[in-house]
Amino acid sequence: MNTTVNINLANTFFYIDEEAYKKLKNYLKAIKKSFESEEGCEEIMADIEARISELFTEKLKHERQVIGLLEVNEIIVIMGQPEDYVWEEASKKSKTNNSDSNSQKDKKLFRDGDDVYIGGVVSGIGHYLGIEPQWARLIALLLFLLSAGSFMIIYILLWIFIPEAKTTSEKLSMRGKSINISNIEQKIKEGLDDVTERVKNVDYEKVSGRFQSSVRSFFNGVGSLLLLFVRGVKNIIGAVFIIASCVILVELFIGFFSAGTLGFVSTHWFEFAEKTQTPFWLLSLAGFLCIGIPFFFPLFGGI
C-alpha cells in the first residue's frame, strides 16, 4: 500500500504515487536548474509541465488510475535528461567546466543545513576546511569543554553570521564542488534536497520547541533536567548523552561566570545574580542560549 499525492500539473489533476511524485519533482527541479538564468525560464517550465501533463493523460487508461514510478520513468525517457535541455550553451559550458575545476578552491563558508546537530556551524566549517563533520564535531566538543563557555558565545555568533546553505548551488560551493548541471542533478538525485531536509526541519522544530519549554521550566530548578533524564533513560545512548550534557552544563556555569569578566554582561547583573540567587530575564536569556543548546545532545540521543 502506498500513499498517493494529488498534483495539479498545467491545470490538470492527477493522482500520483508518493515515490513517483518525489522523482517527478526532482526531475522538474533539475530541469529548471539547467536554464534557470535564461530569459523566459518560467514559460519554458510551463510548456514542459503542459507537455508532461499531456503525456500522462495519454498514458492513463482511466481517470482514477494512479501515476507510478513506471510512468514517470517513461516520461523522463521521452523528455530527456536535464543535460538534453541545454541548447547552444552546452559547448560553452563544457569549456568553462575545465576552468571550473580550479574553482574547487573557491569554497564558501556556509552552515550545513543537512548535517545538523545544533546549527550546522561545525559541519559547515568542517566542509570549508575539508574535515569530516564527525571529526570537526569532536574537535568542537573538546573546544566546548576546554574553553569554558566562551566557545559557546563564538558558536552563537557564528550561527548568526554564517548563512545557511539553502540552494543547491550554495550547497555545492560549500563543499567546494563546481556548480554545473551534472553536479546539481547528482545532488538532487542524492535526495539531499527538500524531502529529507523537511523531515529534518520538522525534527528540529520539535526539538527546539521542547528545549524552549525545558528552559522555561529551568526556573523551577533542576526538575527539567530530571525530566530529561527520565526521558533519556529509554536507551543507554541517550543516557550517555545526557551525562555528557551535564558535564557540559557544569562547564557552562563556569563559562557563565567568566562571561562577567569578559565583559559580555555587566558586573551589576553579575553581583545581583550572585546575591539574590534568583535569575531574572537576562539570566534566563543567557541560560536559554548557553544551557538550552547542549540539551540538543540528550534530546537527539533520547529521540
Q: For 243, phi and psi rounded to 5 degrees?
A: -60, -45
Sign of the C-alpha dihedral, residues 80, 83, 11, 7?
Answer: positive
Q: Does 31 bind other proteins (CB under 8 A)?
A: yes
| Dist CA 185 CA 52 (whole Å) | 19
Nearest approach, Cβ of residue 45 and other proteins (Å)? 8
User: What mask, x for binding other proteins by CB under 8 A, covers residues 172 to 211?
Assistant: ----------------------------------------
Q: Does 92 bind other proteins (CB under 8 A)?
A: no
Q: Does 40 bind other proteins (CB under 8 A)?
A: yes
Q: Does 79 bind other proteins (CB under 8 A)?
A: yes
- E strand segments, the chain: 4-9, 12-17, 66-67
CA distances from 93 to 34, 126, 175 (A): 11, 30, 21
Q: Which lies closer to other proteins via its Cβ, residue 86 or residue 244?
A: 86
Q: For 279, phi and psi rounded to 5 degrees?
A: -75, 140
Nearest approach, Cβ of residue 87 and other proteins (Å)? 6
CB-count exposure of residue 291 (10 Å: 0-12, 13-18, 19+): buried
Q: Which lies closer to other proteins via its Cβ, residue 53 or residue 173?
A: 53
Contacting range for other proteins; rule: CB under 8 A; set: 75-83, 132-140, 191-199, 210-218: 75-83
List contacts with other proteins (CB under 8 A).
Answer: 10-12, 31, 35, 38-40, 43-44, 47-48, 50-51, 53-54, 57, 77-82, 84-88, 91
